[in-house]
Each structure stands twice: as C-alpha cells, then as structure tokens.
C-alpha cells in the first residue's frame, strides 16, 4: 500500500492531519466534523511559522491562471483529503469555480474579497460578497458556498489554506463563465506535484 503524501512533512502538519482525521472519523456529519476541526484549523491559521516561503509564492504557469499558485501540502492516498495553499498575487482573481467536496478554507496572509455564487439553469447569481482577513475562515459544505471566486485586495500576495475532502487539484470540477453562467470542465492541478494521470 502506498502511503499518504506529505509534501510538507513536518511535525505540525502530521499532527494537524492526525487530528483532522480523528475529527472526520468522529463526526456524525460533515457539519459536525467541520465543527470539530474548527479549533485546530484556527490554530493553524494563527501560527505564522509552519508554512515555508516556497509555498507562499505565486506561480507563473498555473491551472488557475493569473499567476495563482496552488501548492499541495498533503493528500491522502485514497484521494479522500487534501491540504493545500492557494497563493493569489495582488489584484489577481481566480476563475469562478467549485470544489465538489466539504471542508474548511481560511486566510493565512494578505486580504481577499470572496464572491459566492449560486448556479441555476444557465444562470449564475452572486449571493454574497465577503472580505477576509488573516485568521478568518469558513466551512464549505456543498452545494452551499461551493461556487466562488477570490480576489486579492492587499498590496501583498494573499495566501489561503484549504482542507478539503477530495484531491481538489486533481479532480475534474467546474469553472463558470460569469456572463452566461455556463459551466466548463476544470482541473486546476497543483504547481508542485503531478496528478496521477499526468504521469507517462
Ligand atoms: Fe476555491
């Protein structure tokens, strides 16, 4: 059996993932599991020491476009959990996209505006706009809050941390046209690791 992939293999990440897995196993629902994860996620966002600078760098070539770096830190061998940083340069924004998995997303550095959309038939409606500062985080449980776009509003690059219950960078999900609401197949990839079927 291959092991889980700790791209960033440190005691902090090992302990965080162990605790997150315990919370997921004990949770009676995604909402309950997320409630159990909240305190350790808040601690992770509040600790400025654990994330090396290389995972806080933009990436010129990236699936997200705009120089946005999506850096894998950890993923489960069965694709059931991933932890990654998303690095968005000043003024850059992601495509409108979904995640297709529940989990938690929070801001580590810089500031962001987040726009949350609701998809209808051939329509996309802006439901909410919120401003995020370091330490702010939210629980994402599809379909609620699953479709969004983030834009960096700070003069410095923003870094957000994502814990989601899939291999988010490697699954096929959706990007949405803001004008028509049309969904297109979308796979962001990771800057630093391939997806399985990239090999060979
Ligand atoms: Fe996202």
pLDDT tens digit string along 102-136? 999 999 999 999 999 998 877 899 999 999 999 99
Average predicted confidence (pLDDT) for the chain: 94
Ligand 1: centre distance to CA 97 (Å): 6
- 68 with 92: CB under 8 angstroms? yes
Q: How far is CA 103 from CA 57, 117, 134, 137, 144, in A?
A: 23, 18, 18, 11, 12
CA of 10 relative to ligand 1 center, distance in Å: 25
DSSP 39: H
CA of 163 to the centre of ligand 1 (A): 11
Ligand 1: distance of its center to the CA of 96 in Å?
8
With a CB cutoff of 8 Å and minimum separation 6, the contacts of 132 are: 106, 107, 111, 112, 113, 114, 160
Tell how far the Cα of 98 is from the centroid of ligand 1, in angstroms. Answer: 6
pTM of the predicted model as reported, rounded to 2 decimal places: 0.95
* Spacing, Cα 118 to ligand 1 middle (Å): 14
Q: What is the pLDDT of residues 154-197, one digit of tens each?
A: 999 999 999 999 999 999 999 999 888 899 999 999 999 999 87
CB 20 within 8 A of CB 37: yes
Return the axis-axis angle of helices 30-46 and 11-26, rounded to nearest 10°.
160
- Res 200: pLDDT: 43
Distance 78 CA to ligand 1 centre (A): 21
* 15 alpha carbon – ligand 1 mean position (Å): 24
Cα of 1 vs centre of ligand 1, distance in Å, is: 31
Q: Find the 148 Cα to ligand 1 centroid distance in Å.
A: 6
């Amino acid at each position: 059996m291959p092991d889980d992939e700790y791209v960033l293999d440190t005691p902090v990440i090992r302990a965080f993932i162990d605790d997150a897995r315990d919370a997921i196993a004990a949770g009676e629902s995604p909402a309950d599991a997320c409630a159990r994860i909240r305190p350790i996620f808040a601690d992770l966002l509040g600790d400025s020491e654990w994330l090396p600078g290389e995972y806080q760098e933009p990436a010129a070539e990236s699936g997200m476009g705009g120089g946005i770096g999506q850096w894998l830190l950890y993923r489960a061998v069965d694709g059931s959990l991933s932890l990654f940083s998303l690095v968005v340069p000043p003024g850059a924004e992601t495509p409108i996209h979904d995640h297709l998995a529940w989990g938690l997303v929070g801001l580590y550095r810089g500031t962001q505006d987040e726009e949350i959309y609701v998809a209808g038939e051939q329509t996309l409606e802006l439901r909410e706009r919120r401003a995020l500062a370091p330490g702010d985080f939210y629980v994402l449980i599809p379909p609620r809050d699953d479709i969004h776009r983030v834009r960096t509003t700070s003069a410095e690059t923003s870094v957000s941390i994502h814990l989601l219950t899939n291999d988010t960078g490697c699954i096929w999900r959706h990007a949405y046209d803001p004008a028509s609401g049309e969904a297109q197949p979308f796979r962001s990839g990771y800057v630093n690791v391939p997806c399985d079927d990239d090999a060979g």
